[in-house]
Amino acid sequence: MKEGATAEPARLAQFVDKIVGDLGAVLSIALVRIGDRLGLYRALHEYGPMTSEELAAKAQIAERYAREWLSHQAACGYLSYDPPSLRFTLPPEQAMVFAEPESPVFMMGGFDSAAAMVENAEAVEAAFRTGKGLGWSEQLQCAVCASARFFRPTYHNNLVASWLPALDGVVAKLEAGAMVADVGCGHGFSTVIMAASFPNSTFVGYDFHPESIIQAKAHAAAHGVTANTRFAVALADDFPGPENYDLVTFFDCLHDMGDPAGAARHVRETLKPDGTWMIVEPVAGDRLEDNLTPVGRICYAASTMVCVPTSLAQPVGAALGGQAGFGKLSEVIRRGGFGHVRKAIETSFNMILEARP
């Protein structure tokens, strides 16, 4: 501590309380994921209030573990507890977070992502010292799977309902029959959601990660949209064109790219003259002080552990980061040859940008 500086007791106590809360949250990650994998949240959601014995029987687990897990969840406020009946309840609000995959606030993918970041910490720490990047193929756990699961509920609930309608004239084109490239499609959730809603249009998903393309094809088959979708391995700056697409979409990936300006130039080349580029990015202000929020806290953590290392592992290594903000993003987009860039709509977690030639 700097000479002459002293800790103010009330502020110290307040900060220690905050750290206790943070540690409790971190230590809960493993237990939440266990509850997810063993179907404990689903059982509580389906069957209602239960004792530890009842949950153990329904989920086919040991009662002693069930009792301790339930006690922890009640201490977290994730479950409610009724002392007279010894029963634990998953309230409807918590069920939307833990047990309803179609809910707009289903967060299990976030816990999976957090676990992946912890597992990858040693590799990222080494990158801190060297300044080098860490590509998706170097991740120690299925960070790609976790990311796909995290983003899917947001896309499921917003993409067709509000994001596409916020773009000028795009829905009408999709209904009539458009050609769409979904770049950085990952497991193809965004591609499949659009394809199912607009059967007259053709959707091509591109990603540089071969394993993700395999998953995307399987996902399309499972949802019956193989007739108007296809998937291929390609980079954002060399996917097939030119002047072929009515719509190009980038979902939560532009800031991860090594050369986002190069990707923007290629998108411009592949769009039809009246085409649209839709860019979905984490919500962020243009100044650091604008992003010192709970959402910013999560985004900066993910950016440090995943987004910046991923970009630095690629040519150019622009490393925009997950909180780039509209100003920096629009500058990159305009450098690609786009004359018109606007923020079409914004949610608590995302901003949707529309770029036109």
* CATH number of the domain enclosing 90: 1.10.10.10
Q: Provide, rounded to the nearest whole percent, the portion of the chain with pLDDT above 70.
A: 98
Residues 317 and 265 in one domain: yes
Tell whether 130 is covered by a domain: yes
> pLDDT by residue (tens digit) across 29-63?
999 999 999 999 999 999 999 999 999 999 999 99
Q: What average pLDDT does the segment 237-249 reach? A: 93
Mean pLDDT lowest among 36-45, 95-104, 138-147, 244-253: 138-147
Res 241: pLDDT:
86
Task: For residue 274, give the CATH number of its domain.
Answer: 3.40.50.150
Query: Would the pLDDT of 79 be above 70?
Result: yes
Tell whether 103 is covered by a domain: no
Query: Would the pLDDT of 329 be above 90?
Result: yes
> pLDDT by residue (tens digit) across 295-319?
999 999 999 999 999 999 999 999 9
What's the number of domains the chain is made of?
2
Res 242: pLDDT:
82
Residue 140 banded pLDDT, cuts 50, 70, 90: low
Residues 187 and 309 in one domain: yes
Tell whether 60 is covered by a domain: yes
Tell whether 295 is covered by a domain: yes
Query: Would the pLDDT of 277 be above 70?
Result: yes
Tell whether 83 is covered by a domain: yes
Give the residue numbers spanning the domain of 52: 9-98
Query: Would the pLDDT of 292 be above 70?
Result: yes
Residue 139 banded pLDDT, cuts 50, 70, 90: confident
> pLDDT by residue (tens digit) across 178-226?
999 999 999 999 999 999 999 999 999 999 999 999 999 999 999 999 9
Residues 31 and 112 in one domain: no
Residues 120 and 87 in one domain: no
Q: What average pLDDT does the segment 142-160 reach? A: 92
Q: What average pLDDT does the segment 138-163 reach? A: 90
Q: Which of 70, 98, 126 is the last residue of a domain?
A: 98
Give the 3-state secondary structure of the chain: CCCCCCCCHHHHHHHHHHHHHHHHHHHHHHHHHHHHHCCHHHHHHHHCCECHHHHHHHHCCCHHHHHHHHHHHHHHCCCEEECCCCEEECCHHHHHHHCCCCCCCCCHHHHHHHHHHHHCHHHHHHHHHHCCCCCHHHCCCCHHHHHHHHHHHHHHHHHHHHHHHHCCCHHHHHHHCCEEEEECCCCCHHHHHHHHHCCCCEEEEEECCHHHHHHHHHHHHHCCCHHHEEEEECCCCCCCCCCCEEEEEEECCHHHCCCHHHHHHHHHHHEEEEEEEEEEEECCCCCHHHHCCHHHHHHHHHHHHHHHHHHHCCCCCCCCCCCCHHHHHHHHHHHCCCCEEEEEEECCCEEEEEEEC
Res 27: pLDDT:
96
Residues 197 and 67 in one domain: no
Residue 3 banded pLDDT, cuts 50, 70, 90: low
